[in-house]
Amino acid sequence: MDNNKIKISSLQLGILIVVTIMGVGILAVPRIVVQDVGSDGWLLILIGGGFSLIATMIIHALGSRFPNKQFFDYTTELIGKPLASIVVIVYTLYFIPICAFIIRIFGEVLKMYLLPRTPIEVIIITFLLALAYLIRQGLEAIVRFYEIMLFLMIIPFLLSLLAGTYKVDYTNLLPVFQSSPLDMMKSSLQLFLSFLGFESALLFIPYVADHKNTKKSMIIAISFVTVIYLFTTMLVISTFGVDETGQLIWPLMSYVKAIEVPGSFIEQLEGIIMTIWVFFAYTTSSTLYFSGSITLSKLTGVKDYRVYVMLILPIIYILALLPGNIAEVYDWDSRVSIYLGATVAFIIPLLLLVVSILRKKGEKTHG
């Protein structure tokens, strides 16, 4: 990609962050939050959102010191070629497997609820081809696609969820502040993983045309996702209670199934939600896939990332099909996200920021 030609707006960056974070995870978020801390769970979302906000600010601070340089270029400048290569490898090893697991979970849910007889291999390969098609068009096409999708995703999604609000027991959200702060911290680290996706902003900050608004739109993006997560989690817990929510693999899907629309005019909203959710999965995995092919092209020094789009497709395909069952997928996913996710989204940007401040490289952060 040519750095000078491609420009996106800060709003588009914000949208990219929103649609990347909200993906397959949203179906499982209510389960993750209640698992360890019970009815305190929905408070975790606020803590998790706070964590992500801090991490995003670090990424922004780092990016704004080098407004016209690519992430890996200034990494090399900061810590030298050998170390920078390791950083690039870490990012590649993160983006590609995570993308694969997301696609696998997507395939499993789709097979479960919508296409019971279609082989999962076919679901995954068609999905991957559709992804590759979009990614080859480049960053500008991707963000423009996201801009359209955001409205098509969020509005019907919220409307369908609202249909269930009239008959839930909100006292299920009580009691609060019962678990120890240590437990809360531990679980919010788990939840932090559901917010992953914003780290891809590292790659895209250099393309933003109006630099001074970047920070604002990143903050808005993270807050927006936090509010949506909070809303859905509170609804699901109010409907099912803590115990049942903890038992369901995809509590949000079950919530949608349990919605009783007054007057029985429409029954069974899961068809609608399923359709929208395909886009949730699509936007998330396309950002990760895109980031994966960019990092790989940096690693090998090839200018055009497009070469890699088709090359890593079989790798993602194989990785996606490797886990034997759904429990194994979530197991691998959480292992990769815990060790690598926290590293790429938090530790590496923080270290780089410290180094750049100490070595006085880059411009001073403004704002």
Partner 1 sequence: MAKKILMLLLVCLLLLNTGCWDKQDIEERALVLGIAFDKPPEEELARQRENASEPEHFSPRYSITYIHPLASTVVGKGAGEDTFSSMTITTRSPKEAEREMNTRIDLQLFFGHTDLILFGEDVLKNEEYMKEMMDYLHRNQNINWDAKVAVVQGRAKDVFEMKPTGANLLVPYVVGIMENRRVSSKVSHVTLTQMLTELGQRGTVVLPKINLGKDEVKVEGAAIIQNFKFRGYFTGQEARSLMFLKGTLQGGGIVTKYEDTLISYTIVNSKLEKKLKTTEDGLQMIFKLRTEGQLDEGTYNLDLMDDKLIKTMEKSVAEEITKDAMETIKKLQREYKADVIRVGSYIQKFHPKIWKQVEKDWEEVFSSMDIQVQTDARIRRVGVVE
DSSP string, 56-68: HHHHHHHHHHSTT
Q: Which is nearer to partner 1, 82 or 263 (CB)?
A: 263
CA distance 277 to 82: 41
Q: Is 148 in the site for partner 1 (CB under 8 A)?
A: no
Q: Which amino acid is at 78?
A: L
Q: Which position among 254, 284, 286, 287 is part of the footprint of partner 1 (CB under 8 A)?
A: 254
DSSP string, 315-366: HHHHHHH-SSSHHHHHHHHHHHIIIIIHIIIIIHHHHHHHHHHHTT-SPPP-
Q: For the CB of residue 194, give the shortest distance to partner 1 in the complex, in Å.
A: 23
Q: Is 180 in the site for partner 1 (CB under 8 A)?
A: no
Q: For the CB of residue 197, give the shortest distance to partner 1 in the complex, in Å.
A: 27
Q: For the CB of residue 2, give the shortest distance to partner 1 in the complex, in Å.
A: 29
CA distance 27 to 110: 12
Q: Which is nearer to partner 1, 108 or 199 (CB)?
A: 108
Q: Which position among 239, 285, 286, 295 is part of the footprint of partner 1 (CB under 8 A)?
A: 239
Q: For the CB of residue 282, give the shortest distance to partner 1 in the complex, in Å.
A: 17
Q: Are residues 285 and 131 in contact, defined by beta-carbon separation less than 8 angstroms? A: yes
Q: Report the candidate in 14, 21, 29 with the shortest Cα–Cα distance to residue 231.
A: 29
Give residues 279-308 in contact with partner 1 (rule: CB under 8 A): none
DSSP string, 111-157: HHHT-TTS-HHHHHHHHHHHHHHHHTT-HHHHHHHHHHHHHHHHHHH
Write each residue from 49 to 88 as x if it is in contact with partner 1 (CB under 8 A), else as -, in one continuous string. Answer: ----------------------------------------
Residues of this chain that bind partner 1 (CB under 8 A):
39, 112-119, 122, 171-172, 174-175, 178, 239-241, 243-244, 247, 254, 257-260, 267-268
